[in-house]
Amino acid sequence: MAAMDNVATLARAAHAAAGKLSGTPGPVRDEALRAMALALREDAAAIFAANAEDVAAARAESLAAPLLSRLSLDEKKLDGLIEGLLALLALPDPVGRETLRTELAPGLVLSRKTCPIGTIGVVFESRPDALVQISSLCLKSGNACLLKGGREALRTNRALFASLSRAAASAGIPDGWAALLESREDVSAMLSLDRDIDLLIPRGSNEFVRRMQESTRIPVMGHSSGICHLYVDASADVAMAVRIAVDAKTQAPATCNSIETLLVHRGIAANFLPALARAMSEKGVELRADAAALPFLPGAAPATEADWDAEYLAPVLAVKTVSSLDEAVAHVNAHGSHHTDAIVARDEAVASRFLSGVDSADAFWNCSTRFADGFRFGLGAEVGISTGKLHARGPVGLEGLTTYRWLLRGTGQTVAPFAEGTMRFTHRPLPPQGAE
Amino acid sequence: MAAMDNVATLARAAHAAAGKLSGTPGPVRDEALRAMALALREDAAAIFAANAEDVAAARAESLAAPLLSRLSLDEKKLDGLIEGLLALLALPDPVGRETLRTELAPGLVLSRKTCPIGTIGVVFESRPDALVQISSLCLKSGNACLLKGGREALRTNRALFASLSRAAASAGIPDGWAALLESREDVSAMLSLDRDIDLLIPRGSNEFVRRMQESTRIPVMGHSSGICHLYVDASADVAMAVRIAVDAKTQAPATCNSIETLLVHRGIAANFLPALARAMSEKGVELRADAAALPFLPGAAPATEADWDAEYLAPVLAVKTVSSLDEAVAHVNAHGSHHTDAIVARDEAVASRFLSGVDSADAFWNCSTRFADGFRFGLGAEVGISTGKLHARGPVGLEGLTTYRWLLRGTGQTVAPFAEGTMRFTHRPLPPQGAE
C-alpha cells in the first residue's frame, strides 16, 4: 500500500500541476524544452555512468543482444535526444488553437479551442530514450505525466529524470508536473486514480493493453502491437514490391509496424515470389507459405492457419496467395490488428479500393509500412500508436495529446426566445482566430 | 441468454453493415434521410396510434406529468423531427474530409481523412424523438447503430423504427445498419461485444454511465448529468445576470445544462441577490443560500455542504458568495461536473481568467448555460454531451461521430535510406483537399 499512497500523492500533485501548466504560455514551455536540452548535455557524464551500471546489470542477467543495444545510451543517442528536444520546441504550440468559430446569433459567438488532456500515465519499455521523448511531448502539449519505464533502465531513467525535472523547474514549470514510478505495484495503483489521471498509455503487448482496459475506468490509449500486411497486387511493379517487402520486414523486425504477412495476387505470384525468395534469403528471413505459393518459394515451409494470426516480431514472414483484391481486404480485416497495411499496385483504382477497404489506422500505397511513426509523419515523435478508433488514431504526437473545449461569448443572450421562436440561430461560420 | 444471442447476432450484422456503409457516398446517405422524412409523414397515423397506446399505458401507471409530456408525440413534434431530418441532409458530409495533408518526402504524401467510427450502441431515455435524431445522425455520419429506448416508449419506438428502416432500405442503405433493442438484458449483452461494437453512448445518470464504464472494454462516451454553475462577478450587469440566471435555472429545470449552483461575488451581493430573489420567487424557485447570502434572500433556506454537490434537476437553486474569482473557479472545479459553467461580467480580463480557469467542456461568458446543446451549437442535433476529455467533448454532433485514418501514397519509398540518413524528410504541409 506504500506504493498506492505514494502514487496517489504523486497523481494528486500532477493533477494540481496540470491545472497550472494548462495556463502556461507556449514560450514558457518552449523555454523549458531548451533548458532540458542543455541539462542533458551538462549531465551527460552522470547519465552515461548510470546507463553503464544498467547495462552491466543487464549483461549479468544475460539480457538478449537486441535488448542490450536498446538499453544502452551512447553519445550518438544522446545527441539524437537533444536534437529531438530542439526540433520539438520549433513546432507550433498545439495548445489554445481555435479549431472552430461560429456566430450562433448576433453577439453570440461560439469558439472551439484545443487544450491539454490533463494528467497522463505512460508505461513504456526498456529504451531510456522513451522517457525523454514522452515527457517532452507531454510538456510541449501542456500535460502532466506519470512515467513508468523498464526495470532494466531504472538507473538511467533516474538520471535522465533528475536532469529534466531540474531544467523544467528552472524554467518555471510547476513542481510535480512529472513523476517517475518504479514498481509494478505503482502501475496497478494508477488504475484506480481516475479522479486525478485522465489517460493511460501502456506501450506493450495487446495482452498488456487489454488487461489494463479491463481493470480501470480511466481511458486507455492502446499502443498496440501490430499484425501488419503488405498486399502485392497483380498490377504491381515487381522490383518495387520486393524492395518494399524487404524494408517492411527486415529494416527493424521487432517493431510493431513491420509486416508479418505478405499477400500476393495469383496473377503475379510466378513473377514476384521467386524474386522475393532470393531477397528474403539474403536477409535471413524464414518464409512460411500456403500451398499455392510454396512451389515458387524454394526453402519455404508450409504455413498453418496459426501463421495468419501470428505476430512474429522476428525475421519470419507468412506468405499467402489471393485471387482478388476483395479476398486480400477481407483477410487483412479478419486477421490484422487495424494498425498499418499497405498495397503495392500500379493500378490506381485498385489501390483506392484497398485504401478505403481496409479498416486500418494507417493505409499505405507503394511505400513501406515502417513509415507508420510519429517522427516520420512529422508529428514531433510519438507517445505511441493507437489502434483504437476514438480520439487519436495511428501515431500519437502533439495534437493527439490535446483535446478541445467550447467557449461561448455572448451579450446577455438567454435560450427562452430561441425556444419560443421569437429569435432564430444564424449558425454563421467565422474564420478561426489564432489557428495554425 | 436469448437476448445475448439475439444481440450478438444484431451486433455482428451491424458491424458488417458498417463496413459497407462507410463506403456509401454522401448523396446516398442524404437520399436515405430524405426518404426517412417522407416515410415519417406517410406513417404518421400508425406512429400516433402507437404513441397513444404508450401514453395510455403510462397514464395507467400514473407516470409524472413532465414525463408524460416528453413521451407524447404530437403533430408539432413530428413536424420538428421531419424538419430536423431535412436540416441534417443539408449539412456537409462529415465523412471523407481531408483534415491534414503533408509531403513527407518527394513523391511521398501523407493524408488524414475523417471516417465513421463503426457500430455505436446508444441507450436513451423515454423521449421517442431521440430515436429519430440519433439514428439519423448515425446514418449521416456513416455509422451503424444499436438503439435501446425507454420502456414507456416501446410501441412508439417500434413504429418509428419500422418507418425509418423501410425508408433507409428503399434508398439502398445496407440491411442491419440499425437495430432496435428492447430489454435491459439486451443492454448488458452489448457490454461484452467489443469485437463488433466500437462505442457505447449511455444517456442517463452519472451512476448509469460509471456502471457501464466499469463493466465493458468498449469505449463509453458519457452523456453525463450536469452540476452547472453561474458565477456573477462584481463587474456584472445586474439586470443581465438576473435574466441569465432565470433562463439557466427555469427555462427547462430537468435538463443537464441547467444551473444548480449560483456563485456571486461579495462585492455585488447586496445589489444582485434581492433582484434574484424577486425573479426566482416569481418562477417558484426554492433558494438555499450560505450565511453571507441569506440576509439578502427573503424566504431562502440555509444551504448545507451537500447542496454544493447536488444536482436538483428541479426548481431549486443553491446560492454561495465568494470573495474572489479564484475562489469561484476553485469551487466550480471542485464541485462541478466539468459540463457547462458560465460567468456574467463586464470586466473582460476577469471573464477570460474564468473561461481558461474552469476545467469544463463548455465555458460561457454573458449568456445562459442552456445554450450547451448540439442543435444550438450548429452541430446538427446531438447524440449526447460528453464530459470526458478524450475524443468528442461537449455536445456530440456529426463530427463527434467520426474519427480519422492516415493514408500514405508513395512511389516506392522504403525507410532504410531515411534511417541511414541518405534521405531526409521534408515534412512540407500541403493544402488539404476536399476539406470543408
> Best residue in A242, A246, A415, A427 to probe B by mutation, most B CBs within 10 Å?
A415
Best mutation target among A340, A365, A407, A408 (most B Cβ atoms within 10 Å) is: A408
Using a CB–CB cutoff of 8 Å, tell me whether A409 touches chain B.
Answer: yes
| Nearest alpha-carbon partner for B122 in B107, B105, B138 | B138
pLDDT digits (tens, 9 = 90+) for B261-308: 999 999 999 999 999 999 999 999 999 999 999 999 999 999 999 999
Within-domain flag for B284: yes
Q: Do B356 and A23 touch (CB under 8 A)?
A: yes
Q: Please, how many CA atoms are within 13 Å of residue A22, restricted to the half-sphere of its CB?
A: 25
Q: Is residue A385 part of a domain?
A: no
Residues A194 and A253 in one domain: no
Give the C-alpha separation, B130 to B193, whole Å: 24
Query: What is the reported pLDDT for A392?
Result: 80
**Contact residues, A window 115-174, toward B, CB-based 8 Å cutoff:** 117-118
Our CA-based measurement puts residue A427 at a distance from the nearest CA of chain B, in whole angstroms, of 6
Identify which of B219, B363, B415 has the shortest CB distance to residue A368: B415
**pLDDT reported for residue A435:** 39
pLDDT at residue number A327: 97
Residue B435 has pLDDT above 70, yes or no: no
Q: Is residue B409 part of a domain?
A: no
* 3-state class percentages of chain B: helix first, strand second, coil last, to nearest 5: 45, 20, 35
Closest-CA distance, A79 to chain B, in angstroms, reads 15
Same-domain status, B153 and B246: no
Q: Which range among A6-20, A145-159, A366-380, B228-242 shows the weakest confidence by mean pLDDT?
A: A366-380
pLDDT, position B140 = 94
Nearest-angstrom CA–CA distance, A390 and A395: 13
Q: Would you place residue B432 in the very low, low, confident or very high pLDDT band (cuts 50, 70, 90)?
A: confident
pLDDT score of A1 more than 60: no
- Is the predicted pLDDT of residue B405 greater than 70, yes or no? yes
Please indicate, yes or no, whether residues B198 and B73 belong to a single structural domain of this protein: yes
Residues A54 and A148 occupy one common structural domain:
yes
B88 interface with A at CB cutoff 8 Å: no
**Chain mean pLDDT for chain A:** 90
Check: CB of residue A17 under 8 Å from CB of residue A10.
Answer: no
Is the Cβ of B363 closer than 8 Å to some Cβ of chain A? yes
How far, CA to CA in Å, does A385 sit from each of A76, A315, A392, B279?
A: 25, 22, 9, 54
pLDDT of amino acid B427 = 84
Q: Is the pLDDT of residue B204 over 90?
A: no
What is the predicted pLDDT for the residue at A4?
54
Q: Is residue A102 predicted with pLDDT exceeding 80?
A: yes
d(CA A161, CA A169): 12
Verify that A207 and A308 share a domain, yes or no: no
Type of residue at B161: F
- Name the residue among B218, B19, B243 with its Cα closest to residue A390: B218
Mean of the pLDDT values across residues A308-330?
Answer: 95
Whether A389 sits inside 8 A of B117 (CB atoms) is yes
Q: Is B337 on the interface with A (CB under 8 A)?
A: no
Quick check: A371 and A346 in contact, CB under 8 A? no
Of A217, A363, A406, which has the smallest distance from its Cβ to B405's Cβ?
A: A363
Q: Is the pLDDT of residue B71 over 50?
A: yes
Question: Is residue B71 domain-shared with residue B10, that is, in the same domain?
Answer: yes
Q: Are residues A43 and A139 in the same domain?
A: yes
Q: Looking at the structure, do residues A132 and A263 belong to the same domain, yes or no?
A: no
* pLDDT, mean of residues B3-18: 87
| Cell 454544493 belongs to residue | B308
Contact, B320 vs B308, CB < 8 A? yes
- On chain A, the residues whose CB falls within 8 A of the CB of B434 are none
For residues A235 and A321, membership in a common domain is answered with yes
CB B415 within 8 A of CB B422: no
Q: Scanning every residue of chain A, which has its alpha carbon at the shortest distance from the alpha carbon of B251?
A: A416
pLDDT of residue A180: 95
Residue A241: which CATH number?
3.40.309.10
| SS percent in chain A: helix, strand, coil, step 5 | 45, 20, 35
Q: What is the pLDDT of residue A223?
A: 61
pLDDT at A415: 86
Cross-chain residue pair A412–B367, CB shorter than 8 Å: yes
* Model confidence pLDDT, tens digit, residues B351-400: 999 998 998 999 999 999 999 988 888 887 888 888 888 878 788 887 88
A231-251 confidence digits (pLDDT tens): 999 999 999 999 999 999 999
pLDDT of residue B224: 65
Residue A408: its chain B contacts at CB < 8 A?
362-365, 367, 371
Task: Indicate whether A228 pLDDT > 70.
Answer: yes
DSSP string, B322-375: ESSHHHHHHHHHHHS-SSEEEEE-S-HHHHHHHHHHS--SEEEEEE-GGG-STT
CA distance B312 to B66: 15
Instruction: Indicate yes or no: CB of A367 within 8 angstroms of CB of B243.
Output: no
Beta bridge partners, A343, equal: A231, A365
Share of chain B above pLDDT 90, in %: 62
**Residue written as cell 544498467?**
A54
In a domain, B432, yes or no: no
Question: Within an 8 Å CB–CB cutoff, is residue B76 touching chain A?
Answer: no
The beta-strand segments (E) located in A24-181 are: 98-105, 108-116, 119-123, 144-148, 178-181
Strand ranges for A290-359 from DSSP E: 301-302, 316-322, 340-344
**Do A128 and A270 share a domain, yes or no?**
no
Tell me what the pLDDT averaged over chain B comes to: 90
Shortest alpha-carbon distance between residue B416 and chain A (Å):
6
Are residues A114 and A140 in contact, defined by beta-carbon separation less than 8 angstroms? no
3-class SS of residue A122: strand
**Using CA atoms, how far apart are residues A368 and B236, in angstroms rounded to an integer?**
60
Give the whole-number percent of chain B exceeding pLDDT 70.
98
User: Which chain B residues have a beta carbon less than 8 Å from that of A333?
Assistant: 19
Partner A contacted by B413 (CB < 8 A): yes
- Residue A331 · residue A319 · CB < 8 Å: no
- Confirm or reject contact between A237 and chain B (CB < 8 A): yes
Contacts of B102 in chain A (CB under 8 A): 377-378
Contact A280, A316 (CB under 8 A): no
In chain A, which residue's Cα lies nearest the Cα of B112? A362
User: Model confidence over A169-183: pLDDT tens digits?
Assistant: 999 999 999 999 998
Q: What CATH number is associated with residue B176?
A: 3.40.605.10
Residue closest to B318 by CA, chosen among B332, B308, B333: B308
Residue with cell 503488405: A230
In chain A, the percentage of residues whose pLDDT exceeds 90 is: 62
Contact flag B389-A118 (C-beta cutoff 8 Å):
yes
**In whole angstroms, what is the distance from residue A388 CA to residue B322 CA?**
43
Sheet containing strand B428-429, edge to edge, reads A301-302, A286-289, A316-322, A259-265, A228-232, A340-344, A362-367, B402-413, B108-116, B98-105, B428-429
Taking the Cβ of residue B25 and every Cβ of chain A, the question of whether any pair is shorter than 8 Å is answered with no
CB contact under 8 A, B390 and A388: no
| Beta carbons of A110 and B390 less than 8 Å apart | no
Closest approach of chain B CAs to the CA of A244, in angstroms? 6
Q: What is the pLDDT of residue A2?
A: 44
User: Which letter does DSSP use for residue A181 in this model?
Assistant: E
Q: How close B198 comes to chain A (CA, Å)?
A: 8
The answer to whether residue A208 neighbours chain B at the CB level (below 8 Å) is no
Distances (CA, A) of B10 to A322, B151, B429: 30, 20, 43
More confident residue, B52 or B373: B52
Q: From A244, which residue of chain B is nearest by alpha-carbon distance?
A: B414
Q: Is 50 exceeded by the pLDDT of residue A436? A: no
| Separation in Å, CA of B361 to nearest CA in chain A | 5
Question: Does residue A338 lie in a domain region?
Answer: yes
**Could you tell me if residue B154 is left (phi over 0), alpha (psi between -120 and 50 degrees) or otherwise beta?**
alpha
Distances B187 to A12, B182, B192 between C-alpha atoms, Å: 35, 9, 10
Chains A, B: CB contacts within 8 A come to 211
In a domain? residue B127: yes
CB B227: neighbour CB atoms within 10 A? 24
Is A427 part of a structural domain of the chain? no
Strands B316-322 and A340-344: unpaired
Which residue, A413, A416, A391, is CA-closest to B199?
A: A391
Contact B371 A23 (CB under 8 A): no
Give me the domain span that covers residue B312: 228-371
**A404 vs chain B: nearest CA distance in angstroms?**
7
Give A349's contacts in chain B (Cβ within 8 Å): none
* DSSP letter, residue B174: P
Question: Which string of DSSP letters, residue by residue, matches A345-413?
Answer: -S-HHHHHHHHHHS--SEEEEEE-GGG-SHHHHTSSS-SEEE-SSSSS-EEE-TGGGEEEEEEEEEEEE
The answer on pLDDT for A23 being more than 90 is no
Sequence-ordered strand ranges (E) for B240-315: 259-265, 286-289, 301-302
- The total of structural domains in chain A comes to 2
Look at A350 and B112; give whichever has higher pLDDT: A350
Q: What's the pTM value of the predicted model, to 2 decimals?
A: 0.87
Chain B residues closer than 8 Å to A355 by CB:
407
Q: Looking at residue A223, what DSSP letter applies?
A: B
A223 CA: distance to closest CA in chain B (Å): 15
Candidate from A169-183, A418-432, B148-162 with smallest mean pLDDT: A418-432
* Residue of B389, B398, B422, B433 to mutate for A, most A C-beta atoms under 10 A: B389
Domain identity same for A89 and A53: yes
B212 occurs within a structural domain: yes
B277 in the same domain as B202: no
Residue A4 vs residue B372, higher pLDDT: B372
Residues of chain A with C-beta less than 8 angstroms from the C-beta of B22: 356
Query: Hey, what amino acid is at B366?
Result: N
Q: Report which of B285, B294, B293 is spatially closest to residue B258, judged by C-alpha positions.
A: B285
Q: Do A406 and B425 touch (CB under 8 A)?
A: no
Residue B213 sits at the chain A interface (C-beta within 8 Å): yes
Say if the Cβ atoms of B333 and A19 lie within 8 Å: yes
CA nearest to B257 within chain A: A415
Chain A residues with CB-CB distance to B415 below 8 A: 247, 251-252, 368, 370-371, 376
**Which residue has cell 508479418?**
A260
Q: Which residues of B touch A219 (CB under 8 A)?
A: 219, 388, 390
Looking at chain A, which residue has its C-alpha nearest residue B368?
A: A414
